[in-house]
Structure 1
Amino acid sequence: MATVMDVYRFLDEKAPFNTQMSFDNAGFLVGRGDKEVRTILVALDITGAVVEEAAQVGAELIVSHHPVIFIPARHVTDQDSAGRKLLALLEHNIAAICAHTNLDIAPGGVNDALAQALGLEQIGPFSEDGLGRTGVISGAPSAEAFAAQVKERLGANGVRFVDGGRPVRKVAVGGGACGDMVSTAVACGCDTFVTSDVKYHEFQDAEALGLNLIDAGHYPTENVVCPVLADWLQKGFPGLRVYLSYRHHEVFSYC
């Protein structure tokens, strides 16, 4: 039977934790390494609802993208949401492994999954550190038409975009908050950039540079990696039950 540390070492081979960015806190964050694992729940985030779901399906381990501990914890009590999540994990004896920026840059990770979900071809690197991907799309749709395709393919509740005045041919993608890489997208010869959490001035910069910029939301641009994680784990540990969270979803809606 596999242990929590067996799963950690497996994921470390797929997306080495030592490649995470300096600000990050990816890794084995909660639990006992020698605990036997029969069931794993995969989710983008570890929320209170996800912990409840893990307990209901009998999972000994949650594997998530976003770290359940990111800002250093000064206390763990039931007086705030962060403390309640950690208490729930401990009380249910559920471990947590979180693969964050190391999974963003890993081959087959977040950005490859995003590029594939958007139907890009000739997928290649976007930056020297591996954060993001580029690819081409056929048909040369308008920025508005491609934004609608992005919304549909990612199952997003809505998208924000600025039309840079060029048809969509070469696309850069950056799962999560990569709006500060607008100039990198232009330098790569891209006419379009799909990311999330774009700031007002970043939309202005993109328009001035003639770049179509599409903000498809943090959850939709990164949740595409969860089926990838589940598939890796199921193939790596065929004797385990691996579930994708059905309770975790986009946190906000558009009216």
Structure 2
Amino acid sequence: MSNLKNQDVIGILNRLAPKSYAFEGDKIGLHVGSLSEPVDKVMVTLDVLESVVDEAIEQDIDLIIAHHPLIFKPLKSIDLSTEKGRIIKKLINHNISVYVAHTNLDITSGGVNDMLMKQLNIETSDPLVYTDSEEIYKFAVYVPTTHEEFVRNAISEAGAGHIGNYSHCTFNSEGVGTFMPLEGTDPHIGSTNKLEKVEEKRMETIVPKHLLDKVVRAAEKAHPYEEMAYDLFKLEIEGEKRGLGRKGKLSKPMPLDEFANYVKKAFNVPNVRMVGAPEKTVHSVGVIGGDGNKFIQQVKNRGVDVLITGDVYYHTAHDALGIDLAMIDPGHHIEHVMKNELAAYLKKQVEERNMKVSVTASEIVTEPFHFI
């Protein structure tokens, strides 16, 4: 049995797609099971259907990581005559945990929308619909001059001190630190009950909120003192903007109908629905995985010629025509590209950490529609 726990793998996922990125009320996180259960085998899926759970049972999977929530609406009962009830029973009986990364995986850099743009071979520039921006903190740590470079390198490699295309950005001021080790301490410098004075540097840098814990841990590991002194201040400056969807530009403009066929082939779907004049010239492209109906005006305001999204409604299509926004609907299921992409990412991360965990992608096709 593995010494690793579900939380070890989920910790890697949460660094890619922090839970704080998710829309308010989104049903992300642990749905079934326990974070403290041992884990040897992980499977990534788009949807948690009964067929997917059966696949997981057959492969002795310990943890399912899904994009779409298993439990989206609160359950009033667990009826074993329903598919949802049978799924939950099988998961519990076979000790399989389910963890969900939904809108946080949509929004994050390298997430679902970037994966869709990669499938289209379109270079991504910015989020399509801004949701918020990263909070930025000032991190100041007091370091003896002997360990200045150790600590600077440690916090920089953990993600602190990045400004634009520059890394290792710090400001350092000299001073004298004082402390008195009390009974029961094991000081790096000094003796018990004797006041010590040490030449130190105050090293200041900036850190995005989602990396704070990682940076502080890295500093503590590199710092020689038993108790590291540091300050944190929230700054009134705007960090990296986050948002849903992605915007990109075609390397060569093409008519809408030609581009629609390109999308069809890129996602290997039997057909797509197209809104707009076939001869309309497409320069810029937006993509929102899943259902992007309610964002059409915001997308239009970003100067996009065509929006690729799923589940396009009849009235939304008319509204899009009214604002001269073309739309291409290849279906909600195109998000399945996240299975192999996320599995490959997690596999690489666990290998780099020498974690003995296998990561696979579900082979079950969860597209509910047939095209005739």
Band of TM-score, shorter chain: over 0.9
Contact preservation (8 Å) 2:124, 2:246: no
Identify which range, 13-22 or 94-103, moves more after superposition: 13-22
Q: Which of 338, 347, 360 is 1:243 aligned to? A: 360
- What are the superposed Cα offsets for residues 19-60 of structure 1, whole Å, 9 maximum, x if unpaired? 211231100111122211111111100100000001111111
Distance across 2 between alignment mates of 1:74 and 1:62? 24
* Partner SS for 2:71: coil
Q: Which of 92, 104, 107 is 2:106 aligned to? A: 104
Correspondence for 1:182: 296
TM-score (norm 2): 0.66
Distance across 2 between alignment mates of 1:202 and 1:5? 41
Correspondence for 1:253: 370
Contact preservation (8 Å) 1:182, 1:206: yes
1:79 deviation in Å?
Answer: 2.0
Task: Give the structure with the higher percent strand.
Answer: 2
Correspondence for 1:5: 7
Correspondence for 2:22: 20
* Partner SS for 1:236: helix
Correspondence for 1:206: 320
Distance across 2 between alignment mates of 1:152 and 1:87? 39
Q: Which of 223, 237, 240 is 2:336 aligned to? A: 223
Correspondence for 1:131: 244
* Partner SS for 1:140: strand
Does residue 171 of structure 1 match 2:173?
A: no
1:18 deviation in Å?
Answer: 2.2
Larger radius of gyration: 2
Contact preservation (8 Å) 1:40, 1:240: yes
Task: Give the structure with the higher percent helix.
Answer: 1
Distance across 1 between alignment mates of 2:55 and 2:320? 41
Amino acid at match of 2:88: L
* Partner SS for 2:64: strand
Q: Which of 258, 274, 277 is 1:145 aligned to? A: 258
Correspondence for 1:48: 50
Distance across 2 between alignment mates of 1:181 and 1:151? 22
Amino acid at match of 1:23: G
- What are the superposed Cα offsets for residues 180-203 of structure 1, whole Å, 9 maximum, x if unpaired? 111112101111100011111111
Q: Which of 70, 73, 90 is 2:92 aligned to? A: 90
Distance across 1 between alignment mates of 2:358 and 2:65? 13
Correspondence for 2:72: 70
1:158 deviation in Å?
Answer: 2.0
1:138 deviation in Å?
Answer: 2.2
- What are the superposed Cα offsets for residues 159-191 of structure 1, whole Å, 9 maximum, x if unpaired? 111124521110011000011111112101111
RMSD of aligned residue pairs (Cα, Å): 1.3
Identify which range, 122-131 or 97-106, moves more after superposition: 122-131
Distance across 1 between alignment mates of 2:74 and 2:85? 12
Distance across 2 between alignment mates of 1:145 and 1:163? 12
Contact preservation (8 Å) 1:146, 1:168: yes
* Partner SS for 1:50: helix
1:90 deviation in Å?
Answer: 0.7
Correspondence for 1:234: 347
Distance across 2 between alignment mates of 1:200 and 1:119? 29
Q: Among all aligned residue pairs of Structure 1 and Structure 2, give the percentage whose two residues are the same amino acid.
A: 35
Distance across 2 between alignment mates of 1:159 and 1:54? 31
Contact preservation (8 Å) 2:129, 2:295: no
Distance across 1 between alignment mates of 2:371 and 2:25? 31
1:74 deviation in Å?
Answer: 1.3
* Partner SS for 1:169: strand
Distance across 2 between alignment mates of 1:119 and 1:216? 16
5+ residue gaps, structure 2: 132-242
Q: How many residues align?
A: 254
Correspondence for 2:119: 117
Distance across 1 between alignment mates of 2:366 and 2:44? 13
Distance across 2 between alignment mates of 1:106 and 1:122? 13
Amino acid at match of 2:100: C
Distance across 1 between alignment mates of 2:36 and 2:84? 25
TM-score (norm 1): 0.95
Amino acid at match of 1:167: T
Amino acid at match of 2:295: M
Contact preservation (8 Å) 1:43, 1:248: no
